[in-house]
A and B are shown apart, each in its own frame.
Chain A
Amino acid sequence: MARPTTIRLPDELLAELDRRARSHQKDRAVFLRELLRDALARDLEEEVVVAYRAGRLSLSEAAHRLELDPWSWFDLLRRRNETLSVELEDWIDSRSAL
Protein backbone atom coordinates (compact mmCIF):
# COMPACT_ATOMS: atom_id res chain seq x y z
CA MET A 1 0.00 0.00 0.00
CA ALA A 2 1.37 3.42 -0.93
CA ARG A 3 1.04 6.04 1.82
CA PRO A 4 1.44 9.77 1.38
CA THR A 5 4.40 11.37 3.11
CA THR A 6 5.94 14.80 3.24
CA ILE A 7 9.60 15.68 2.89
CA ARG A 8 11.23 19.10 2.55
CA LEU A 9 13.43 19.53 -0.50
CA PRO A 10 15.53 22.53 -1.50
CA ASP A 11 14.08 24.41 -4.51
CA GLU A 12 16.96 23.52 -6.81
CA LEU A 13 16.69 19.80 -5.95
CA LEU A 14 12.95 19.82 -6.58
CA ALA A 15 13.49 21.62 -9.90
CA GLU A 16 16.12 19.07 -10.92
CA LEU A 17 13.80 16.22 -9.90
CA ASP A 18 11.02 17.64 -12.07
CA ARG A 19 13.39 18.19 -15.02
CA ARG A 20 14.62 14.58 -14.83
CA ALA A 21 11.09 13.20 -14.40
CA ARG A 22 9.94 15.16 -17.49
CA SER A 23 12.89 13.93 -19.51
CA HIS A 24 11.87 10.35 -18.62
CA GLN A 25 8.25 11.24 -19.33
CA LYS A 26 7.24 10.18 -15.85
CA ASP A 27 5.16 11.63 -13.11
CA ARG A 28 7.25 13.17 -10.30
CA ALA A 29 5.98 10.69 -7.67
CA VAL A 30 6.50 7.65 -9.90
CA PHE A 31 9.99 8.81 -10.83
CA LEU A 32 10.88 9.52 -7.19
CA ARG A 33 9.69 6.07 -6.07
CA GLU A 34 11.88 4.46 -8.74
CA LEU A 35 14.88 6.53 -7.69
CA LEU A 36 14.34 5.61 -4.05
CA ARG A 37 14.03 1.90 -4.79
CA ASP A 38 17.24 1.95 -6.86
CA ALA A 39 19.11 3.93 -4.22
CA LEU A 40 17.96 1.64 -1.40
CA ALA A 41 18.98 -1.45 -3.40
CA ARG A 42 22.41 0.07 -4.09
CA ASP A 43 22.79 1.01 -0.45
CA LEU A 44 21.98 -2.53 0.69
CA GLU A 45 24.37 -4.00 -1.89
CA GLU A 46 27.15 -1.71 -0.67
CA GLU A 47 26.50 -2.63 2.96
CA VAL A 48 26.58 -6.37 2.18
CA VAL A 49 29.74 -6.13 0.04
CA VAL A 50 31.53 -4.16 2.77
CA ALA A 51 30.50 -6.77 5.38
CA TYR A 52 31.63 -9.61 3.09
CA ARG A 53 34.94 -7.89 2.35
CA ALA A 54 35.54 -7.43 6.08
CA GLY A 55 34.78 -11.11 6.73
CA ARG A 56 31.62 -10.39 8.70
CA LEU A 57 29.48 -12.35 6.20
CA SER A 58 30.18 -15.61 4.42
CA LEU A 59 29.61 -15.96 0.69
CA SER A 60 26.25 -17.67 0.99
CA GLU A 61 25.08 -15.32 3.75
CA ALA A 62 25.99 -12.33 1.59
CA ALA A 63 24.21 -13.79 -1.43
CA HIS A 64 21.16 -14.60 0.71
CA ARG A 65 20.96 -11.02 2.07
CA LEU A 66 20.68 -9.76 -1.49
CA GLU A 67 18.32 -12.57 -2.51
CA LEU A 68 20.93 -13.90 -4.92
CA ASP A 69 22.14 -17.42 -5.63
CA PRO A 70 25.89 -18.06 -5.20
CA TRP A 71 26.47 -17.92 -8.97
CA SER A 72 25.01 -14.44 -9.11
CA TRP A 73 27.20 -13.46 -6.16
CA PHE A 74 30.29 -14.33 -8.23
CA ASP A 75 28.85 -12.19 -11.06
CA LEU A 76 28.33 -9.32 -8.62
CA LEU A 77 31.92 -9.56 -7.36
CA ARG A 78 33.12 -9.44 -10.95
CA ARG A 79 30.92 -6.46 -11.84
CA ARG A 80 32.23 -4.57 -8.81
CA ASN A 81 35.82 -5.75 -9.31
CA GLU A 82 35.83 -7.27 -5.83
CA THR A 83 37.74 -10.38 -4.80
CA LEU A 84 36.78 -13.43 -2.75
CA SER A 85 37.25 -13.08 0.99
CA VAL A 86 39.95 -15.80 0.98
CA GLU A 87 43.29 -14.55 2.36
CA LEU A 88 46.84 -15.46 1.41
CA GLU A 89 47.15 -17.18 4.82
CA ASP A 90 44.27 -19.45 3.81
CA TRP A 91 46.23 -20.52 0.74
CA ILE A 92 49.37 -21.07 2.82
CA ASP A 93 47.49 -23.16 5.41
CA SER A 94 45.41 -25.10 2.88
CA ARG A 95 46.21 -28.77 2.76
CA SER A 96 46.73 -31.14 -0.12
CA ALA A 97 43.70 -33.39 -0.48
CA LEU A 98 45.06 -35.86 -3.04
Chain B
Amino acid sequence: MADASSLILLAKCSLLRTYGHRVTLLAPRSVLREAAAPELREAYPDSEEIARCTEEGLIHGEAVSSRRELPLALGAGEADAIRLFLARRADVLLSDDGRALRTCRLLGIAFTTTPRVIVDLRACGAIEPARARRALEKVAVAGRYSRDIIAAALAALQEVPHGETDDDPSS
Protein backbone atom coordinates (compact mmCIF):
# COMPACT_ATOMS: atom_id res chain seq x y z
CA MET B 1 0.00 0.00 0.00
CA ALA B 2 1.50 3.31 -1.02
CA ASP B 3 0.73 6.95 -0.46
CA ALA B 4 1.46 9.82 -2.84
CA SER B 5 4.83 10.77 -1.31
CA SER B 6 6.32 7.37 -2.13
CA LEU B 7 4.76 7.01 -5.57
CA ILE B 8 6.27 10.40 -6.39
CA LEU B 9 9.71 9.54 -5.02
CA LEU B 10 9.82 6.15 -6.76
CA ALA B 11 8.80 7.85 -10.00
CA LYS B 12 11.42 10.58 -9.49
CA CYS B 13 14.18 7.97 -9.11
CA SER B 14 12.84 5.88 -12.04
CA LEU B 15 12.16 2.77 -9.93
CA LEU B 16 8.37 2.77 -9.76
CA ARG B 17 8.01 0.33 -12.65
CA THR B 18 10.78 -1.94 -11.34
CA TYR B 19 9.14 -2.06 -7.91
CA GLY B 20 5.67 -2.53 -9.38
CA HIS B 21 6.90 -5.63 -11.21
CA ARG B 22 8.02 -7.20 -7.93
CA VAL B 23 5.22 -6.41 -5.51
CA THR B 24 1.48 -5.96 -5.64
CA LEU B 25 1.27 -2.20 -5.30
CA LEU B 26 -2.05 -0.85 -4.04
CA ALA B 27 -3.04 2.80 -3.69
CA PRO B 28 -6.30 4.56 -2.87
CA ARG B 29 -7.82 6.43 -5.80
CA SER B 30 -7.45 9.65 -3.80
CA VAL B 31 -3.68 9.03 -3.73
CA LEU B 32 -3.59 8.47 -7.49
CA ARG B 33 -5.45 11.76 -7.96
CA GLU B 34 -2.94 13.56 -5.72
CA ALA B 35 0.04 12.09 -7.57
CA ALA B 36 -1.12 11.78 -11.15
CA ALA B 37 -4.15 13.95 -11.88
CA PRO B 38 -4.34 14.84 -15.59
CA GLU B 39 -3.42 18.49 -14.93
CA LEU B 40 -0.18 17.39 -13.21
CA ARG B 41 1.09 15.23 -16.04
CA GLU B 42 2.21 18.10 -18.24
CA ALA B 43 4.01 19.97 -15.47
CA TYR B 44 5.60 16.85 -13.98
CA PRO B 45 6.65 14.19 -16.52
CA ASP B 46 7.26 11.68 -13.69
CA SER B 47 3.59 12.02 -12.85
CA GLU B 48 2.85 10.55 -16.28
CA GLU B 49 4.83 7.46 -15.27
CA ILE B 50 2.55 6.96 -12.25
CA ALA B 51 -0.48 7.23 -14.54
CA ARG B 52 1.05 4.76 -17.04
CA CYS B 53 1.90 2.26 -14.30
CA THR B 54 -1.69 2.49 -13.09
CA GLU B 55 -3.08 1.98 -16.59
CA GLU B 56 -0.80 -1.04 -17.05
CA GLY B 57 -1.96 -2.59 -13.78
CA LEU B 58 1.34 -2.21 -11.94
CA ILE B 59 -0.46 0.00 -9.41
CA HIS B 60 -3.94 -1.05 -8.36
CA GLY B 61 -6.13 1.92 -7.52
CA GLU B 62 -8.94 1.17 -5.07
CA ALA B 63 -11.81 3.11 -3.58
CA VAL B 64 -11.81 3.55 0.20
CA SER B 65 -15.13 3.18 1.97
CA SER B 66 -13.84 3.21 5.56
CA ARG B 67 -14.00 6.56 7.41
CA ARG B 68 -12.25 5.15 10.47
CA GLU B 69 -10.81 7.80 12.78
CA LEU B 70 -7.03 7.79 12.92
CA PRO B 71 -4.94 8.81 15.94
CA LEU B 72 -3.25 11.70 14.09
CA ALA B 73 -4.67 14.18 11.59
CA LEU B 74 -3.36 13.45 8.09
CA GLY B 75 -4.05 14.59 4.56
CA ALA B 76 -6.82 12.85 2.64
CA GLY B 77 -4.53 10.55 0.64
CA GLU B 78 -2.33 9.55 3.56
CA ALA B 79 -5.37 8.78 5.73
CA ASP B 80 -7.00 6.79 2.91
CA ALA B 81 -3.80 4.76 2.40
CA ILE B 82 -3.82 3.76 6.08
CA ARG B 83 -7.57 3.02 6.06
CA LEU B 84 -7.21 0.88 2.93
CA PHE B 85 -4.18 -0.84 4.43
CA LEU B 86 -6.29 -1.85 7.45
CA ALA B 87 -9.31 -2.85 5.36
CA ARG B 88 -7.24 -4.96 2.95
CA ARG B 89 -4.90 -6.27 5.66
CA ALA B 90 -1.97 -5.34 3.45
CA ASP B 91 1.59 -6.37 4.28
CA VAL B 92 3.35 -3.05 4.59
CA LEU B 93 2.61 0.63 4.15
CA LEU B 94 4.97 2.55 1.90
CA SER B 95 5.19 6.21 2.88
CA ASP B 96 7.76 8.99 3.01
CA ASP B 97 5.81 11.20 5.35
CA GLY B 98 6.94 11.43 8.96
CA ARG B 99 3.46 12.00 10.35
CA ALA B 100 1.98 9.06 8.41
CA LEU B 101 4.82 6.86 9.71
CA ARG B 102 4.11 8.03 13.27
CA THR B 103 0.48 7.01 12.75
CA CYS B 104 1.70 3.59 11.58
CA ARG B 105 3.66 3.21 14.81
CA LEU B 106 0.60 4.11 16.90
CA LEU B 107 -1.51 1.54 15.03
CA GLY B 108 1.17 -1.17 14.96
CA ILE B 109 1.35 -1.09 11.16
CA ALA B 110 4.53 -2.30 9.44
CA PHE B 111 5.91 0.41 7.19
CA THR B 112 8.68 1.03 4.72
CA THR B 113 10.17 4.02 2.93
CA THR B 114 11.62 4.75 -0.50
CA PRO B 115 15.29 4.50 0.58
CA ARG B 116 14.51 1.05 2.09
CA VAL B 117 12.81 0.01 -1.16
CA ILE B 118 15.92 1.00 -3.10
CA VAL B 119 18.13 -1.11 -0.82
CA ASP B 120 15.63 -3.99 -1.09
CA LEU B 121 15.61 -3.81 -4.88
CA ARG B 122 19.39 -4.01 -4.88
CA ALA B 123 19.38 -6.85 -2.31
CA CYS B 124 17.07 -8.99 -4.44
CA GLY B 125 19.19 -8.35 -7.53
CA ALA B 126 16.60 -6.22 -9.29
CA ILE B 127 19.00 -3.33 -9.85
CA GLU B 128 22.74 -2.79 -10.22
CA PRO B 129 24.69 -1.12 -7.37
CA ALA B 130 25.34 1.99 -9.47
CA ARG B 131 21.65 2.39 -10.23
CA ALA B 132 20.80 2.01 -6.55
CA ARG B 133 23.34 4.71 -5.63
CA ARG B 134 21.98 7.04 -8.32
CA ALA B 135 18.46 6.46 -7.04
CA LEU B 136 19.48 7.30 -3.47
CA GLU B 137 21.18 10.48 -4.69
CA LYS B 138 18.00 11.44 -6.52
CA VAL B 139 15.96 10.76 -3.40
CA ALA B 140 18.32 13.03 -1.46
CA VAL B 141 18.30 15.92 -3.92
CA ALA B 142 14.86 15.91 -5.53
CA GLY B 143 13.18 13.93 -2.77
CA ARG B 144 14.61 16.08 0.05
CA TYR B 145 15.65 13.12 2.22
CA SER B 146 18.02 14.00 5.03
CA ARG B 147 21.68 13.23 4.48
CA ASP B 148 21.71 11.08 7.64
CA ILE B 149 19.16 8.69 6.20
CA ILE B 150 20.84 8.61 2.79
CA ALA B 151 24.18 7.85 4.48
CA ALA B 152 22.52 5.01 6.41
CA ALA B 153 20.94 3.68 3.21
CA LEU B 154 24.28 3.86 1.36
CA ALA B 155 25.90 1.94 4.23
CA ALA B 156 23.15 -0.70 4.00
CA LEU B 157 23.72 -0.86 0.25
CA GLN B 158 27.40 -1.65 0.80
CA GLU B 159 26.45 -4.61 2.95
CA VAL B 160 24.49 -6.16 0.08
CA PRO B 161 26.59 -8.95 -1.50
CA HIS B 162 27.57 -8.30 -5.10
CA GLY B 163 25.67 -10.88 -7.09
CA GLU B 164 23.94 -11.18 -10.40
CA THR B 165 21.19 -8.75 -11.25
CA ASP B 166 18.30 -8.85 -13.65
CA ASP B 167 18.55 -5.09 -14.00
CA ASP B 168 17.11 -3.68 -17.16
CA PRO B 169 17.72 0.08 -17.12
CA SER B 170 14.64 0.61 -19.26
CA SER B 171 12.35 -1.10 -16.74
Contact = CB atoms under 8 A, between A and B. Distances in A.
A62 B77 CA distance: 12
Interface string B72-116: 011111100000000000011010111111100100001111011
B145 to A, nearest CB: 6
A84 B96 contact: yes
Contact of B116 (A64, A78, A82, A95): A95
A74 B8 CA distance: 9
A93 B115 CA distance: 12
Contacts, number: 135
B144 A91 contact: no
A14 B170 CA distance: 61
Interface of B: 3-5, 8, 12, 22-23, 34-35, 37, 40, 43-44, 46-47, 73-78, 91-92, 94, 96-102, 105, 110-113, 115-117, 120-121, 123-124, 126, 141-146, 148-149, 152-153
16 contacts: A57-B99, A59-B4, A60-B34, A64-B76, A78-B141, A78-B144, A84-B97, A84-B98, A84-B144, A84-B146, A86-B145, A86-B149, A88-B149, A88-B152, A97-B112, A98-B121
